[in-house]
Every structure is written in structure tokens, then in C-alpha cells.
Amino acid sequence: MSRFMSKHKLSNFSMQRLVIGLITFVLSFYAQGAEDPWLHLEKASQAARKLSYKGIFLYQNFQDVRSIEITHLNNGEEEFARMVTLDGQPREALSRGNNMVLFSSNKENVIIQERQGQNLFPAILPPDIEAVKAIYTLRFADQERIGGREAQIVYLEPKDQFRYLYKLWLDKEFGLILKMSILDDQQKMIEQASFNQIALFSGQDLNWFKPNVDTHKKYIMDEVPVNKISHEKYCTITNLPAGYKEVSHVTRAMGTQRQIVHHWVFSDGISFVSLFVNPILKDQKSRLGETRVGSSHVHARVMNGNQIMVVGAVPKATIQKISNSIQDMKAH
Amino acid sequence: MKEKISTLLDNELDLKSSSQTVTEISKDSRLRERFETYQLIRDSIKNELSDVNLSSKSILDAIDKEPIQLQFKRPSKLQSAIALPTPSWMSWPVAASFIAVLFVGAMITTNPLHMKPTNAIEIAEDIPNEYIEAHQMLAPTNVAFYVETQTK
């Protein structure tokens, strides 16, 4: 009996250990799930779009510094945002969903321009961060106060040489990106934006959603050129840098050029690069070489009588690789 | 078509033309985008968004839900929304300017092509601004908005 009891007790003990082990495993599984660092980034992506907030941030790149006032409202159905540059010439953007309109003023005119997309700070992350996971690693660092709020610092470290390093300060409570630094492989600052003040608000009042422009000035609509459809197969694009995908392709007139220009935009989810291809007419000069304009690299070359131009705020290696991705170019 | 859209937003099209225009908008995604942009500009300037129900966005919602003939056959809330009284500052010709499209690109392009039949130009010496501006119009970046396309 005692043998049986001791055996039985042993069995109970084993069972208890098994149950405890299982509970520990399940708890640790859930704990790991809760601590998945990418959830913080997903929260940051959602926060910029779903919260209603108002604040002022400082934006700077190599050559310029601007103070920007942003008001963002999500009424549950739509996003509305107004961004006003507080320095220099009056300039502001109003966006509703994916439609953005830019109002710029000079002495005589108000210039109205259409813009694409919604990837402006603090909404720099794509809604779906799965693409980001494939090309960046995420590392957590210290905590800091930004704009009067506690922030967790995270690094988005590129897995290759085709993108910059992102250092992000995420609001500990709401996840909103309070500050970002984009750094090159030498840790030199490419761009930076940081809230000086930020506050959430409730309510759906849209009285603020109007441009502050002088209505006595003449205004000028500067529209995105109409896409001129070309059915000819102009070239093949292969072997893009990892993670980059085509997000748009238009054929358009551009600037003073008489010929149609093919314009592709590629993105890895965070950065955007334009590739232009157009025939060089007999009375035109071709363009060659590389240069840098602000944060953007520009690369120009000629292939089979075609001008190839690549522009983007990405490392030089990315620009070069995209320029070299063209195959089967039609000769002119 | 741009003229029609802007006139539609100003409620100046007759019934038949309105129906045709809305039909065309409903069939073409680019026209729809243009309509949305125009109505964003118009609504924001006229500050009509304090009551979203009275926005001409409702036209687009109606396009999604039903054939178009319903919107312009009765003096609906939508129609009255489009026909909101013109504010005093409308001397600034909103609709007219939609039609009178000018190209700022030409104004801010500081490096027009030199038509010499010679060889290549180094872009470091002659920045290809028209390409950079074209990139900024389609690529949603902070630089494009905050810094590099400041009105010149």
C-alpha cells in the first residue's frame, strides 16, 4: 500500500511538474508574443494614422531646418491632416485620405499642387510592416524624453547596403513616433524630425481644416501630368535591390522636354526611388554622372540612345543598382 | 473633362451633363482621383468639412452604391450641398482656376535644356531639376514636402 501510495505520489508529482512545465511554456509563449519587438513598430505605424494629435516638430536635413505644425484627425472613417511650415515662405499641405494638396505662396501667387501618398513624418512606416521585417533588423535601446513624453528608442538596422539606418523614438504609451533620425553607414545624419510639443485631442471638429492663404492672390494649379499610355515594350527591369518593388509607372511629358518620359517609382516600404527613361533627341545633350541634391542622390547614364536617370533619398549603391537594373533597352 | 468636374462641383452643369459626367467619373479611377482632389481643395478652401455629410464626397459614396441617375433628379441634400452659397472671397476664382491650369514646373525649372548638338553634360554641374521635381511629385517623402520644393 505504502509502495502504491509512494508510487502514486510520485506519479502526482510528475504530473504536477508536467502541468507546471506546460503552463510555464504556454506563459512564456504568450510572453514572447507580447514582447515581439515588431509589435511596437506596428503600433507606431498604426498610431500615426489612427490617433488624433496636434504638435510642432523640427525637420532638418543636410541643408535646411524647418518648424512644422501638424494637426491630424481620424474620425473613425477618414484621416484629415494639415501640415504648415512655420519658417520661410508660407507653405502648407492638406490631406484627406490619400489625397494631398499643397499650397505654396510667393509674392504674387498661391501655387496649388497635388501630391501622392501619406508617408510624411510621423507616418513614415507603411501600414503593413511585414515588408520591413524582411529588410531590417529591429534593436531596442535606451529610453529618453522627447517633447515632454517618455520614449523608447529603437533602431531599424538595414540588412544590406541598399537603405539607411532609422533611429526611432516611440511614445511609450501610444506608440507614436516622436522623433526619427535617418543615418548613413558612417552614422552621419541624413534627415531628422523631432516633436517639440505634441498632444492628443478628441472631437471631430474640422474647422481647422482649411488653408491659410491670401485669397486676393492669383492662384495656379500645378497638376500631375496626365499619364500618356504607351503600349510599346520599352525595356525590362530586373534584379532590383532586395525588397524594392514597383509602386507606379507612368509615361508623361516632363519639364521642357518634348519627348515622352517613362517614370517608374520603386519602394521598399520606407524609401522611394524614381527611375526615368527617355530617348535623347538629336538636338539634346545627354547627361552623365552622379551628384547629390540635399538628401537625394541622382545618377545619370546613357544606354542605347536613351537617357537613364535615377533619383531618391537612398544610398548611392541603391541608385546605381536600380540604374543597372534595365535590360533589353529599345535603341534610339 | 477637368472643366466638367469643376463645373459639376460648382453645380453649374445641367441635369443631363451632370449625369453623364458622374457616369464617366464612376467608370474611370483616374477621373475619380481627380474628382476627389478637386473636392478636397474646394471643400477645404470653403471650409465645408465641418459637416462631412454635406460634403460632395457623398457623390462618390452614391456612385459606389447606386447608378448615378438618382443624384441629380431631385433637389437632394447633396445637390443643396453643392449649391452652397458663394462666399464673398469667391472673387478668387476657384473653379475657373481649376480650368486655367498652368505649369509651375516650368517656372521653377532653373535649368532648361540647352539645345546644343554636342556631347554630354555632367549632372553635378547642371542639376537635372525637372527629374528631381517629377520624383517629388510622385514619391511621398518628407524632403519633397518640407524642404526641396520650396516655392522659388
- Residues A111/B151, Cβ–Cβ less than 8 Å: yes
What separation in angstroms does the CA of A164 have from each of A160, A229, A271, A305, B3?
9, 34, 9, 33, 44
Chain segment B35-94, per-residue pLDDT in tens:
777 777 766 666 555 444 444 555 555 445 444 332 333 333 333 333 333 333 333 444
pTM over 0.80: no
Closest residue in B to A291 (Cα) is B124
Looking at the DSSP bridge assignments, the partners of residue A167 are A155, A181
CA gap A75, A94 in Å, rounded: 16
In this predicted structure, the answer to whether residue B23 has a pLDDT above a threshold of 90 is no
Is the link from the previous residue into A122 a cis peptide, with omega within 30 of 0? yes
A80 contacts in chain B (CB < 8 Å)? 49
Q: What is the pLDDT of residue A142?
A: 96
Distance from CA of B102 to the nearest CA of A (A): 6
B129 contacts in chain A (CB < 8 Å)? 255
By the CB < 8 Å criterion, does A215 face chain B?
yes
| Contact across the interface for B117 and A282, Cβ inside 8 Å | yes
CA gap B2, A269 in Å, rounded: 32
Domain-by-domain residue ranges, chain B?
A: 2-90, 104-146
| Contact across the interface for B146 and A59, Cβ inside 8 Å | yes
Q: What is the ipTM of this complex?
A: 0.80
Which cell numbers hold the place of A183? 543615418
Residue partners of A263: CB distance under 8 A and separation at least 6: A248, A249, A250, A251, A252, A254, A274, A275, A276, B134, B138
Q: What is the pLDDT of residue A185?
A: 92
Element (H, E) at A41: helix A37-50
Chain segment A60-106, per-residue pLDDT in tens:
987 788 999 999 999 998 999 999 999 888 889 999 888 888 888 88
- Nearest CA to B92 out of A116, A103, A97 is that of A103
**Burial letters for A74-108: b for 16+ Cβ neighbours within 10 Å, e otherwise?**
beeeebbbbbbbeeeebbbbbbbeebbbbbbbeee
Q: What is the pLDDT of residue A17?
A: 56
Residue partners of A163: CB distance under 8 A and separation at least 6: A135, A136, A243, A268, A270, A271, A314, A315, A318
Q: Average pLDDT of chain A? A: 85
Q: What is the pLDDT of residue B82?
A: 30
Residue partners of A151: CB distance under 8 A and separation at least 6: A143, A144, A145, A169, A170, A171, A172, A178, A179
Most confident of A105-109, B3-7, B40-44, B101-105: A105-109
